[in-house]
Amino acid sequence: MKQFNIQHTDKSMADAIQQKIDHLNKPKGSLGRLEELALQICLIQQTLTPSLNHPCHLLLGGDHGIEREGVSVSPREVTWQQMINFTRGGGGVNMFCRQHGFKLRIVDTGVDYDLSNVEGIIDRKIARGTRNFLHEPAMSQEEFDRAIQTGCDLVDDCIAEGCQELCVGEMGIANTSPSSIWMSLFGNIPLDECIGAGAGLDSPGIQHKCEVLAQSLKHYNETMENTTENAIRYFGGFEMVTAIGAMLRGAEKHLVVMVDGFIMTACAIAAIQLYPAAQDYMIFTHCGDESGHKRMLDIVHAKPILNLGLRLGEGTGALCAYPIIDSAVRMINEINNFDTAHITKYF
């Protein structure tokens, strides 16, 4: 696997940042979470005057072999249909990107459909979907390495345009299944407590999903050494492993990395398992409606900004949280301090 140089953020200027926040003309701590976010972003960028230039959103698409086992209520053709819909501006992700000024990149990392001639889709297809991890690893080592590198390359393209904040979303039918398994493996949580309805399974459907994933995990434990990289490669989708590569590259380059719902939190946890320092650069934006998402966030002691009951994916929860992150940056840059406002400091 590609090696990254990811260091914990340098905390040596934390006191100076906190002093600036405390000296703004407001009661100490009165802007709550905004103050915490401002401190984190200042540490990421190593500055007292942070900025959020050219925010970019990567929308990564891929299909999963495990979908063939009926673990999702949605058929796999929905993946490519939605990818085309995104190019026409008709998805939730499109609306939120327009609203908040994000540049959207729609990327085919492994959709089981020929999208190479569809205008507006970046072709980074590794294969037409992963293999069925009920029987074998979802991807080969070479495919895994390509997916990680694809994520890096996409982030480098964003950085070349001046990006300082990265948001990653996904489109991949059945990708709650690998996410649930990663949650179990990385969080040491019983598998059946990690499995939910996904896009809308009924109770018999959830039971079937539990049985398929339990058998898949059993086969993995019998045939593979349980390492973080093996778990990622055995169960992950191309869009998910590309997201991990993007998150790690974003951390390496000191970007603010916004993490969305259940799927992207699973990817973030996988990235943190590989490089614990990567978490310093992540803002967990939303606790979704998927069963177990809060428990997944608890694995890394993350405190999400929003809890709107969303479970759409696509990065929409993160995009919804962007104005709050923007407010945190505006707070530290634009609110007068007690001296310039000529107000007596009363604490």
Structural domain spans, the chain: 11-50+331-341, 56-324
| Range with lowest mean pLDDT among 64-73, 158-167, 309-318 | 309-318
Q: Write down the CATH number for the domain with range 56-324.
A: 3.40.50.10210
Long-range contacts (CB closer than 8 Å, 24 or more residues apart) made by 94-97: 96/316, 96/319, 96/320, 97/57, 97/319
Residues belonging to the active site: 314
Per-residue pLDDT averaged across 97-102, rounded?
97
* DSSP label of 347: -
Residues 6 or more apart whose CB falls under 8 angstroms from that of 238 comprise 60, 62, 109, 110, 126, 127, 129, 130, 139, 143, 147
Check: CB of residue 289 under 8 Å from CB of residue 313.
Answer: no
Above 80 in pLDDT, residue 141?
yes
pLDDT of residue 85: 96
**pLDDT per residue over 190-233, tens digit each?**
999 998 776 678 888 889 999 999 999 999 999 999 999 999 99
Q: Which tokens sit at 270?
A: 């996988």
Per-residue pLDDT averaged across 311-325, rounded?
94
Percent of the chain residues past pLDDT 70, beyond the cut: 97
Which H or E run contains 240?
helix 238-252
* CATH architecture of the domain formed by 11-50+331-341: Orthogonal Bundle (1.10)
Alpha carbon distance 109, 144 (integer Å): 11
Alpha carbon distance 171, 158 (integer Å): 20
Alpha carbon distance 176, 217 (integer Å): 15
**pLDDT per residue over 109-120, tens digit each?**
999 999 999 999
pTM for the full model? Answer: 0.96
